[in-house]
A and B are shown apart, each in its own frame.
Chain A
Amino acid sequence: MSVTISPKRLRREFVRKVKELSGQNLQLCYQCGMCSGNCPATSNMDLSPRQIIELARLGLEEEIANSKTVWICASCLACTVNCPRGFDLSKMMEAIRLLTLRKNIDYIRPEDISPQERCELPQIAMVSGLRKFTG
């Protein structure tokens, strides 16, 4: 992917919030790609986990908002346990999701879950899904 970087496009406030919510030092990442290599969902993502880290620390909020990657993440922590730098990417993904959800922008509409699915889904699926995808 190609990204145009200019001082106007870099959102320092976004970087600050991601750091604050995730508790992670975004500069730890040296872009080795272990996260993307270990992520079982990379093939369904438009931007790889490694790319998301780079965009997030640059403050390229728009590119991240246009990507579905953080919503494909299942918080399985394969990235977290394999990172050679001890960077917890699952917390950064959560921080980025929350920055959207806390503006009352939900990723799913609970009413779109059919009555049949509601009956069949185990409670842990409903509770975790609604916590991850709605504000």
Chain B
Amino acid sequence: MSLAYYPGCTLKTKARNLEEPAVASMEVLGFKLEEIPRWNCCGAVYSLAEDDLIHQVAPVRNLIRAKEQGQDKLATLCAFCFNTLKRANLLMRENGEKRDTLNSFMDEEMDYGGEVKVVHLLEVLRDEIGWGALAQKVKLPLRELKVAPYYGCTLLRPREVAIDNVENPTILREFLEALGASPVDFPESTRCCGSYQIISNPDDISEYARDIFNSALSHGAEALVLTCPLCDYNLGQGQKELMKKHNEFKEMSLFYFTQLLALALGLDPQVCHFELNYGSPGSLLREKGLLS
């Protein structure tokens, strides 16, 4: 089955370890991720100002690309892109005045009214494949791998785009259970990593990372599972800073959820690009007998 797919800029460069295992895994699960043609940067953040319509043009153009292909659904992997595209889509669906303005500004494009449904790959796994069916496809159960789900912000906030319960999400826990891993709940799982503050306040970022790692560690986690390339960068860089400053700080591995998916499905670990990860994922996986 073919599924229209929007990768976004970061997945093609810094986060190949998020994208490549996803594409390979979905093929095993019967879905071909078809990149939409001529996609452009989504703008990374949704425009929050009432009068700022120009920044809606970029995400809406991507939605139009999907509609042109006759697709009624657009799958995303990057949590930032998911949020920006889904919010822009809601704007086009619900605000008639702004929809008309944007459509007439883009008069070279077909009219768009929010017809395409924006979904995150985790929703496809949960709602279209199902945890039971996924569990049946697992060839290498991730037994005894104690992983804490870290959601960050953009898959859950604001409420109207959330892929799960805003206060108490379980989608990543259920995903990890289907793969045979041991999920570790911890209270900081939906706390912001600091996001774009990395370019203006990097010291604050390492403070946020400290709180997140300490909380996960005290609840028994050996690794964090992530969905967002900026969470990965901030937590990874934050961890490096913490290790420089504090000898006692224990390094924790960071995984993208798609890497654990590919590993559990028995795919060649090379597709996971663990060499791009922060921490020492290889040694943790070898210790658990999950990697040779």
How does the 8 Å CB contact mask read for B1-37 relative to A, with 1 for contact and 0 for none?
Answer: 0000000111001110000000000000000000000
Are A124 and B192 neighbours in the complex by a CB distance under 8 Å? no
Are B48 and A44 neighbours in the complex by a CB distance under 8 Å? no
Number of interface residues of B (CB under 8 A): 42
Q: With the chains together, A74 CA to B229 CA distance in Å? A: 16
A132 within 8 A of B: yes
B200 within 8 A of A: yes
B194 within 8 A of A: yes
Interchain CB contact (< 8 A) of A122 among B10, B153, B158 = B10
Known contacts A108-B199, A132-B196: A124-B230 contact under CB 8 Å: yes
Q: With the chains together, A127 CA to B78 CA distance in Å? A: 14
Are A23 and B50 neighbours in the complex by a CB distance under 8 Å? yes
Are A127 and B43 neighbours in the complex by a CB distance under 8 Å? yes
Known contacts A44-B201, A108-B200: A98-B41 contact under CB 8 Å: no
Which listed segment binds B: A8-16, A27-35, A54-62, A77-85? A77-85
Are A123 and B41 neighbours in the complex by a CB distance under 8 Å? yes
Least CB distance from A68 to B in Å reads 9
Q: Name the A residues within 8 Å of B52 (CB-CB).
A: 98
Are A77 and B158 neighbours in the complex by a CB distance under 8 Å? yes
Are B199 and A90 neighbours in the complex by a CB distance under 8 Å? no
Least CB distance from A90 to B in Å reads 6
Known contacts A77-B153, A77-B158: A125-B198 contact under CB 8 Å: yes
Least CB distance from A37 to B in Å reads 13
Known contacts A122-B15, A123-B13, A125-B196: A131-B41 contact under CB 8 Å: no
Least CB distance from B194 to A in Å reads 6
Are B204 and A76 neighbours in the complex by a CB distance under 8 Å? no
Least CB distance from A70 to B in Å reads 12
Interface class of chain A by DSSP: helix
Are B233 and A122 neighbours in the complex by a CB distance under 8 Å? yes
Are B49 and A124 neighbours in the complex by a CB distance under 8 Å? no
A26 within 8 A of B: no
Counting chain A residues whose Cβ lies within 8 A of the other chain, the interface size class is 35 or more
Known contacts A40-B192, A129-B200: A20-B51 contact under CB 8 Å: yes
Q: Name the A residues within 8 Å of B166 (CB-CB).
A: 81
Within B122-150, the residues touching A (CB, 8 Å) are none
Are B45 and A75 neighbours in the complex by a CB distance under 8 Å? yes
A128 within 8 A of B: yes
Least CB distance from A64 to B in Å reads 17
Are A95 and B41 neighbours in the complex by a CB distance under 8 Å? no
Known contacts A41-B204, A74-B196, A81-B157: A90-B48 contact under CB 8 Å: yes
Are A20 and B201 neighbours in the complex by a CB distance under 8 Å? no
Q: Which B residues have a C-beta under 8 Å from some C-beta of A?
A: 8-10, 13-15, 41, 43-45, 48-52, 55, 78, 80-81, 153, 156-159, 166, 191-192, 194-201, 204, 207-208, 229-230, 232-233
Q: Which A residues have a C-beta under 8 Å from some C-beta of B?
A: 20-23, 40-41, 44, 71-72, 74-78, 80-81, 88, 90-91, 94-95, 98, 107-108, 113, 117, 120-133
Given contacts A76-B192, A122-B233, A128-B195, 16 further A-B contacts (CB under 8 A): A21-B50, A23-B50, A41-B194, A78-B153, A91-B50, A98-B52, A108-B200, A121-B198, A121-B199, A122-B13, A123-B9, A123-B41, A124-B78, A124-B80, A129-B198, A133-B199
